[in-house]
Amino acid sequence: MNVKEKKKSWFRKELPFHLMLFPAVILTFIFKYIPFIGISMAFESYTPLKGMFDQKWVGMENYRYLFSLPGFGSVIWNTIFIAVMKMVGNLVFPVLIALLLNEVRGRHYKKTVQTVLYLPHFISWAALAGIFIDILSPSGGIVNQILNSLGMDSVFFLGDSKVFPYTVAVTDIWKELGWGTIVYLAAITGIDPTYYEAAKIDGANRFKQVLYVTIPSILPMILLMMVLSVGNVLQAGFEQVFNLYSPQVYSTGDIIDTYVYRIGVIEAKFDLATAVGLFKSAISFVLIMIGYKLADKLAGYKVF
């Protein structure tokens, strides 16, 4: 079979798979690439009554106006602060849970705990928000009832601007805790058992085996997940914050995504909302590239 016949045979073999992929490519093009045209609104004084290409071009004026707003700086700070708390918590606690689950010897108990921890990941924030509003209520919520029984004052978790960012971070860590352990449990199961046998011969107990064998063995995976999460510095979680926050916590709970929603959808300032969204996307792109470079340098992980 010559080269031409091989190419034809390969084409006939691969054609059905490409045809299966074609509808997804079309949908991606329609909903992901065609909307790129709307990016121009970030540099225009947009009026919905005019056509997309009949708008007044204002250049960087929208950005100058945004950065002059007194509350925009706090929105960026809130986003970074909440996102960093989530990143650290979703890195540290899944590792601890994975290490603890690895030490559990009861197979059925271990599977039950894993299932219970995984379930919240599959529940949307629209549903979880209602649950948290009830259990964190300052009047009648089970958490405040426990605090009162211990002689402590009630805490308005979702209405106190000082407490709200930490409430957002803790609830997100709780929701993603089980899901985050999957990667680290998989890394632990891949450790060569002979390392533990050698540690036992040297007199290492279970704690020292974890300290000197398990943790160093999964350290590259921990480092990889850490550097890849750099791109999420501006991703504080729109769905969660939107369903939990209220005007009284805007000062510390308003993030870029909710800010874009309010000025773009509620106030119909589409040009300013597009400018904020483009600003966030550009910064996120740079951070993701930095994360990939760090992953290559520190963990030997290449994406491209």
Tens-place pLDDT, residues 264-294: 888 888 888 888 888 888 888 888 888 778 7
Mean pLDDT score of the chain? 85
Rounded CA-CA distance 228/241 in Å is: 23
Confidence (pLDDT) at 168: 92
CA 172 distance to own-chain centroid: 9
Higher pLDDT, 291 or 208: 208
Quick check: 273 and 69 in contact, CB under 8 A? no
- Give the per-residue pLDDT at 299: 64
- The string of pLDDT tens digits covering residues 168-188 is 999 999 998 888 888 898 888
- Residue that wins the pLDDT comparison between 226 and 302: 226
- Determine the pLDDT at residue 1: 54
66 φ, ψ to 5°? Answer: -60, -50
CATH of segment(s) 72-299: 1.10.3720.10
CA 21, distance to chain mean position in Å, is 27
Report pLDDT for 2. Answer: 62
Which tens digit of pLDDT belongs to each residue from 86-135?
A: 999 988 999 999 998 888 888 888 888 888 888 888 889 989 998 999 99
Q: Which of 213-217, 227-231, 284-288 has the highest mean pLDDT?
A: 213-217
The crossing angle, in degrees rounded to 10, of helices 125-135 and 164-189 is: 120
3 state SS of 251: helix
- In terms of Cα–Cα distance, which of 100, 118, 113 is closest to 180? 118
Average pLDDT over residues 75-79: 90
Q: Look at residue 37 in the predicted model and tell me its pLDDT.
A: 83
Average pLDDT over residues 49-60: 80
| CA angle, residues 59, 60, 62, in degrees to nearest 5 | 105
Selection from 3, 45, 14, 16 nearest residue 275 by Cα: 45
Confidence of residue 55 (pLDDT cuts 50, 70, 90): confident
Question: How confident is the model at residue 303, as a pLDDT?
Answer: 61
Is a pLDDT exceeding 90 seen at residue 224? no
**pLDDT, average across residues 224-229:** 80
Residue 226's pLDDT is 82
3 confidence band (pLDDT: 50, 70, 90): low
DSSP character string of 152-215: PPP--TTT-TTTHHHHHHHHHHHHHHHHHHHHHHHHHHTS-HHHHHHHHHTT--HHHHIIIIIH
Q: What are phi and psi of 53, to 5 degrees?
A: -100, 10
* 294-297: long-range pairs with CB below 8 Å, 24+: 294/227, 294/230, 295/224, 295/227, 295/228
Q: Which amino acid belongs to residue 284?
A: S
